[in-house]
A and B are shown apart, each in its own frame.
Chain A
């Protein structure tokens, strides 16, 4: 992840915190600030926002000399994992627990090399059963195995 030459990544990361801090302060203007004796709900968020801005500036300044970061993102496995979760959320209330789980396992299994479909199918079946027994039968969370 680290490259030897300094680059702008560290500085940008610091500035992202500055922006987040400013945003926090901006939103907190809508909450009563109060006095030091009787602090309103806005007091602490504003203070924290200021701290975030100060620390972020410091990190950005310090980041000029640090060895640079390169993100080295492996987009394919990354996407399969995220999409897998999103599909599970979308399916679970509508199609039921089992279809959602099968979809999650089959999609997220693609994030790894060398996955065989039979293996993935077996894993999906196994997880559906284990999940059904623990969470629907055992704990009794109110979702249907199939259907909404």
Chain B
């Protein structure tokens, strides 16, 4: 299907009252959650997942996707006005956004981040439209060996490219893979790790796990912590950037879009990394690197373009290969599978309406966010000041009823508590919980492909390196591990302290 007829098909599907309504709900919820510090898009998606069970797959996907990219827009508001990232992906924006706000240029900063987010998003959507179906076409030739290798690459990337210690990320992934084996093994029918508990025979519930790790754990971390909520003031007439501002930010925006899209396409690397890389890159190419950290407009435009571009571009591997770029996409993938849609190469032909409808909804959603953001900036600033004591019980309530509604099971709600505490402890000790969720979601697939690949090759393990595409993925995985291990080893031999 060519681009034009694809877009026409997409317009047909995405411009219906229902689709538009759920797109608006999705981006508004995303924006809202993004603005609130301490609760990220993952928790938001997990909280709305149960509701989407009762929707048409199209509406469900449009809404969930809207929450993700909506949160990228909203996150910068808290970063700029409070110096607290609304979501981890906008943490870098605070570096220059908050100084700008202190200089009385909060309005300009908010305006610029909205525009650059929009540009980054649009840039990546074009890439999704042009490359995802092509990649899907290529992936038609993939067998189990290729799927295993690319999933391995994705998991290792997710574990090692997060901002903490690589070994802790790897532990998190392996723990997630092990958790995925709980329940009935689809090949042999044997029930594993159920310990005689009836509810565990179907495996752990994804929604319960995600809500525990990202919802309850965050609440536990922030509960009772005094917060200083005095956002910097914004006046409407200060919103419009000067001509000099515009001149300074268009190039960083484009560079940020490219960096973000590239990172988004890589399996395992998400928007947080994209924003950090774009910032670092801008600082390096800048003629005035000393301005960074003191309110440089390049320092907010590049990462904001990058995180949104990366969120959109991450749909390429997710939809074409079923390999999510980060934990957020992994949850979305889980949501699709619950609706009986397996993102596979065939997805673009068998579910063409779904793909093009989703992509067109990205455009619509990004436009909606543009409109939601700029005229309503006063409203979002008010949202920032909602006190924690009202917010937390409300979130907790939605977590309880949401998890319960999935299968009317009190057991699932208890699972949330367990994973809430696990997530809290993991955060406290510097173990990132996101790779664990990725391992959990990809676990059943990677195990099946591993077993099937070796069955087809009659136990010949070289099947993974005999096939050129599979071998490429494995080499990339090894390079990734080497790039992390070697600098650490060199540092140790020189007697320098190892990097934290």
Spell out A's residues near B (CB within 8 Å). Answer: 1, 9-10, 13, 17, 20, 24, 27-28, 31-32, 35-41, 43-45, 48-49, 51-52, 55-56, 58-59, 62, 65-67, 69, 71-72, 74, 76-78, 80-82, 84-86, 88-89, 92-93, 97, 101, 104-105, 108-109, 111-115, 119-120, 123, 127, 131, 134-135, 139, 141-143
The secondary structure that dominates the B interface is helix
The secondary structure that dominates the A interface is helix
Do A27 and B188 have beta carbons less than 8 Å apart? no
A74 → B minimal CB distance (Å): 5
Known: A32-B190, A77-B223, A85-B417. A120 touches B393 (CB 8 A): yes
Do A37 and B455 have beta carbons less than 8 Å apart? yes
Residue B206 CB within 8 A of the other chain: no
By Cβ-Cβ distance, the 9 closest A-B pairs, closest first, are A77-B224, A37-B459, A112-B389, A77-B223, A41-B190, A41-B185, A36-B459, A108-B393, A105-B393
Q: Which residues of B contact A44 (CB under 8 A)?
A: 181, 447, 450-451
CA–CA, A45 to B177, complex, Å?
Answer: 9
Residue B226 CB within 8 A of the other chain: yes
Q: Which of B401-425 contact A (CB under 8 A)?
A: 401, 404-405, 408, 410, 413-414, 416-417, 420-421
A58 → B minimal CB distance (Å): 5
19 additional A-B pairs beyond A81-B216, A81-B223, A105-B396, beta carbons within 8 Å, are A20-B175, A66-B500, A69-B430, A77-B224, A78-B224, A80-B223, A81-B219, A84-B393, A88-B400, A105-B397, A108-B393, A108-B396, A109-B392, A112-B388, A112-B389, A120-B393, A127-B397, A139-B50, A143-B404
Do A85 and B396 have beta carbons less than 8 Å apart? yes
Known: A40-B188, A44-B181. A59 touches B167 (CB 8 A): yes
Q: Which residues of B contact A78 (CB under 8 A)?
A: 220, 223-224
Residue B329 CB within 8 A of the other chain: no
Residue B458 CB within 8 A of the other chain: yes
Can you list 26 A-B pairs, Cβ within 8 angstroms, ordered by A?
A: A1-B428, A17-B171, A20-B175, A36-B459, A36-B461, A37-B458, A37-B459, A38-B455, A52-B171, A55-B167, A55-B170, A66-B500, A69-B430, A84-B393, A85-B417, A101-B397, A104-B396, A104-B400, A112-B388, A112-B392, A113-B226, A119-B389, A120-B393, A139-B51, A139-B405, A141-B405
